[in-house]
Structure 1
Amino acid sequence: MQGWPIARRGMVIGLLGGSFDPAHAGHAHITREALKRFGLDQVWWLVSPGNPLKAAGPAPLADRMAQAGRVMQHPRVRITDLEARIGTRFTAATLKGLQARYPGVRFVWLMGADNLAQFHRWDRWDWIMAHVPIGVLARPGSGVRGRMSRAAERFRGSQVTGSAAQMLGRRSAPAWCFVDVPMVDLSSSAIRARGEWRKGGR
């Protein structure tokens, strides 16, 4: 789905960003888990023009959008090219743009524990933590690096317990929650290495 998604004031929207190169069942799985665990009204996939932390460019945006739409079909999930529309490549700038366009909407940034482990490398990461609640999803027993990360240590006092995860989006930032979810053992890089997503056509 391209275009500006519709959101009403007071809605809680989870944001899952990435290159989705390609999107796969693991992305769909954590999206469904996030909807349940964090009490979200919707999840928007932010299919990025490119990841600033990766040297090699991804497949064309239109191809990745189409693939994502085939993989993730859910009435409360929107596949978007919002970063391209806003003209941003960094999460902090994207969030500022979304907050300006959707006043009164509550956004929750979603990430895996592996991203939390290197979150301090992101542009204005501390601003993100201070301005948007963050939901972290981890494979059971695999989140040690994330829990010990620089971001987790700095914002330890703002951590929300798993039992309160349903209200994460209703809390004022900084607020972040770490939940364990059974994971689908897939990765975009492994799929690219096997050449599978090119075989699926466009």
Structure 2
Amino acid sequence: MNLPHAEPGNRVGLFGGSFNPPHSGHRLVAETAMRRLGLDQVWWLVTPGNPLKDHAELAPLARRIALTAATANHPRMRVTAFEAVLGTSYTASTLAGILQRRPDLSFCWIMGADNLAGFHRWQNWRDIVRAVPIAIVDRPGASLSPLFAPMAQAFGMARVPEPEAATLMQRRAPAWVFLHTPLDAASSTALRRKAARA
């Protein structure tokens, strides 16, 4: 539940989600961001519940934490449900809480490109973009999202060219980069449907 340990000056990627369940596509997003941005750690933030999603099929938090830890399974990846401590499911509030507690670290937000199309519906989404740099990793069906998503259009001037991705952590927000990677078609929705049929 607490924030993972990190040494002052570490570059930490924050990767939030329901992870209901976590899968290889999530792991690919985290790995891609860690490698391309030169991150010291990636913190998987398992949310108590996404405010924009139906909670009817939401597995218990403890189970999602355990499954996420098994999926992450990397010495520089940590799993936490810190949002439950903060009492929030909103990313803007989570970021504010983390930045307040660890001003000695450099943070970026990591997300799959499938979340970019609806990012403008997140509470205080502009505050998120202005708080920390953002790495958006390609996902199936979302390769064109940087062209049409309201966030990408509103902050088009803040986009970092992909060949300069390694500089993202030295930039002041707003700054974002779109990272292309081999695509993994795994999805939480498909996995839940498969489990329901079993």
- TM category (shorter chain) comes to over 0.9
> Which residue is 1:77 aligned to?
77
Q: What's the CA shift for 1:115?
A: 1.1
Q: What's the CA shift for 1:183?
A: 1.8
Q: What's the CA shift for 1:147?
A: 2.6
Query: Following superposition of structure 1 onto structure 2, how do residues 1-202 of structure 1 map, counting pairs within 5 Å?
Result: 2-57=1-56, 58-139=58-139, 142-195=142-195
Q: Give the letter for the 1:188 counterpart.
A: S
Q: How far apart are the structure 1 equivalents of 2:134 and 2:109? A: 5
1:7–1:102 contact (8 Å) kept in structure 2? no
Q: How far apart are the structure 2 equivalents of 1:65 and 1:141? A: 27
What residue ranges of structure 1 are gaps of 5+ in the alignment? none
Q: How far apart are the structure 1 equivalents of 2:38 and 2:186? A: 25
Q: How far apart are the structure 1 equivalents of 2:109 and 2:43? A: 10
Q: How far apart are the structure 2 equivalents of 1:9 and 1:85? A: 22
Q: How far apart are the structure 1 equivalents of 2:142 and 2:154? A: 20
Q: How far apart are the structure 2 equivalents of 1:53 and 1:140? A: 21
Report the secondary structure of 1:160's partner residue. coil
Report the secondary structure of 2:63's partner residue. helix
Report the secondary structure of 2:78's partner residue. strand
Q: What's the CA shift for 1:134?
A: 0.3
Q: How far apart are the structure 2 equivalents of 1:78 and 1:59? A: 20
Using a 3 Å threshold, how does the CA distance of structure 1 residues 71 and 140 change in structure 2: closer, same or farther? closer
1:117–1:147 contact (8 Å) kept in structure 2? no
Q: Please identify, of 81-90 and 42-51, the stretch whose mean Cα deviation from structure 2 is larger.
A: 81-90
1:140–1:181 contact (8 Å) kept in structure 2? no
Q: Give the letter for the 1:115 counterpart.
A: N
Q: How far apart are the structure 1 equivalents of 2:12 and 2:147? A: 24
Q: How far apart are the structure 2 equivalents of 1:27 and 1:140? A: 12
1:90–1:123 contact (8 Å) kept in structure 2? yes
What residue ranges of structure 2 are gaps of 5+ in the alignment? none
Normalising by structure 2, we get a TM-score of: 0.94
Q: How far apart are the structure 1 equivalents of 2:139 and 2:149? A: 16
